[in-house]
Chain A
């Protein structure tokens, strides 16, 4: 479904330093797969997602969706943003219908499809409200509904629940899983939470920082539908094991980037 091959991107910081945001990243995401991308902050996971979305250029390598190379945003992909990116002057209905409007869908059909998605994310009755009148969790529900109205084949989610509180986050995870069980699609989900990565993903792509690269792909062979309920996979030993393993790997990565614990080749040699 999504093929990423040898993707590299570097940028220059304000202080003139060259940073490899992504170096030689190769990754395949299957049709209707739920892939979570986990990594320390600054590992380039958001850059990777933005490249797949066609929102940023890259230096080398190829990205293809369904065999056709990515050269910009396309109707086959929709993005859910970490900071929601809702238009503060537009009602919930208009925000949800925004993508359809950009794609030239007529007013009546826009409203109908938007209303149905608003119901799916549980926001009936909020159609005429402004984003500023909603809680963070409700705002991200609007963001998810907006992405789903355009019926994308690939849903790109950039730490979508990173800006909401823990309780809301859990609710949103469960709702996202329920929506995905019903409308299967390919999802790439960026997160910095081990638990979230394991609960949601078919596989976890573990990234390391500076240079940003795929360190390991960890399969999550937990049965679906997944839940946190008694008897749900989130209570299983395997869930705990994978989560613990991911944390172990992440802690090692963080340690490598601490100057006092840095691995220094010259010292090893002497």
Chain B
């Protein structure tokens, strides 16, 4: 036992052991992923259930499907559906949400629909779209929109409503027009809540994409899931699931990059590691 140096006297805390210190320095996300993969592998091997093959089997299956070329074309198909649905959802969500947040009468008129549709299981509209828009891309995009748009609307409206009134008043004192107030004050102030809504919307859009592709017209990644399911090929289903997760995470990373630039000014309240 060496004599304690002054640095080691932390108020109320025990001396930090070197091993614990090393553990703390590890990046949290990769470690968590590795732990999850190991757990999957272990459970898959011990359970020996056909519905849950170990991760290594699923990865083998993924490599095989990629070589056959089915993944690439389906993925491209799905991404187009997702992108179209997201663009429509964001445009409509921002527009309707801003109007609802800014004007009480718009909120009174549309709020009930938005909240009803936000709570309703979005897939029930699939047959409606199917009969109205046919079995093509339009129906799938419509499903993506019904999954994603309402959470964007609700968050945008909440963000716009939460703008500090004194900032709006300040803008008015300099003669700002309604358009200037919206663009220069309201939307920037609402950005953190709007971006939170977009993040949720992206996750829901990916769900909508897969569901639409499985239940309306069998295309894209949804078709691969359906086909693998029909063959009772659990490894195949899970392999596609991995792709879907990758798509979702990539889309979220994109949103977070935008989020970081538009909400750089928001003071962070989470606890930083020392």
Q: Which residues of A contact B (CB under 8 A)?
A: 53-55, 73-75, 77-79, 81, 83, 85, 87-90, 98-99, 101-103, 130, 132, 150
Is B133's CB within 8 Å of the partner chain A?
no
Q: Is the CB of A85 within 8 A of B166?
A: yes
Docked complex Cα distance between A187 and B191 (Å): 36
CA gap between A59 and B175 in the complex, in Å: 22
Task: Please indicate the chain A residues that have their CB under 8 angstroms from the CB of B169 in the complex.
Answer: 55, 85
Q: What are 14 contact pairs spanning A and B, CB under 8 A? A: A78-B173, A81-B166, A83-B166, A87-B188, A88-B189, A88-B265, A89-B264, A89-B265, A98-B171, A98-B184, A102-B174, A130-B265, A132-B265, A132-B267
A89 interface neighbour in B173, B176, B180, B188, Cβ under 8 Å: B188
Known: A81-B166, A88-B265. A73 touches B173 (CB 8 A): yes
Question: Closest 6 interchain pairs by CB?
Answer: A85-B170, A89-B265, A99-B174, A102-B174, A102-B176, A79-B173
A78 / chain B contacts, CB cutoff of 8 Å: 173-174
Which one of A89, A103, A130, A132 contacts B174 once the chains associate, using CB atoms below 8 Å? A103
| B binding-site residues for A, Cβ under 8 Å | 166-167, 169-176, 180, 184-185, 188-189, 191, 264-267
Tell me which residues across on chain B come within 8 A of A77, comparing CB atoms.
173
Alpha-carbon separation in the docked complex, A28 to B17 (Å): 74
Please give, as numbers and ranges, the residues of chain A lying within 8 Å of B191 by CB-CB distance: 89
Residues of A with C-beta under 8 A to B167: 85, 87
CB-CB nearest in chain A for B264 = A89
Partner of A74, one of B166, B170, B175: B175
Which of chain B's residues have a CB closer than 8 A to the CB of A98?
Answer: 171, 174, 184
Tell me the nearest residue of chain A to B164, going by C-beta: A85
Scoring B175, B176, B191, B266 by chain A CB atoms within 10 A of each residue's CB, the highest score goes to B175
Q: List residues of chain B with CB within 8 A of the CB of A87.
A: 167, 184-185, 188-189
Q: A99 to B176: give the CA distance in the assembly, Å.
A: 8
Contacts of A54 in B (CB 8 A): 173
A92 to chain B, nearest CB (A): 12
Which of B171, B174, B189, B191 has the most A CB atoms < 10 Å from its CB? Answer: B174
Task: Supply 10 further A-B pairs (C-beta < 8 A) apart from A79-B170, A90-B188.
Answer: A55-B169, A55-B173, A77-B173, A79-B173, A81-B170, A83-B166, A85-B166, A89-B188, A98-B171, A102-B171
Given A88-B265, A101-B184, A132-B265, answer yes or no on A75-B175 (Cβ-Cβ < 8 Å): yes
Q: A85-B169, A89-B265 are in contact. Are A73 and B188 (CB under 8 A)?
A: no
Chain A residues with CB under 8 Å of B172's CB are 55, 73
B74 to chain A, nearest CB (A): 41
CB distance from A128 to the nearest CB of B (A): 13
Complex: A74 Cα to B176 Cα, angstroms: 10
Assess whether B166 is in contact with A102, with CB atoms less than 8 Å apart.
no
CB-CB nearest in chain B for A74:
B175
Task: Give the residue name and chain of the A residue nearest to B180 (CB).
Answer: A102
Min Cβ gap B204→A in Å is 27
Residue of B at shortest CB range from A91? B265
On chain A, the residues within 8 Å of B171 by CB distance are 98, 102
| Closest chain B residue, CB of each to CB of A50 | B169
B267 to chain A: which residues have CB within 8 Å? Answer: 132
A154: shortest Cβ distance to chain B, in Å?
Answer: 12
Whole-angstrom distance between the alpha carbons of A76 and B171 in the complex?
Answer: 15
B173 touches A53 (CB 8 A): yes
Contacting residues, chain B, for A102 (C-beta < 8 A): 171, 174-176, 180, 184
Q: Which residues of A contact B265 (CB under 8 A)?
A: 88-89, 130, 132
Residue of A nearest to B166 (CB): A85
A156 and chain B: residue at smallest CB distance:
B173
Please indicate the chain A residues that have their CB under 8 angstroms from the CB of B176 in the complex: 102
B173 touches A103 (CB 8 A): no
What separation, in Å, do the CA atoms of A87 and B174 have in the docked complex? Answer: 14
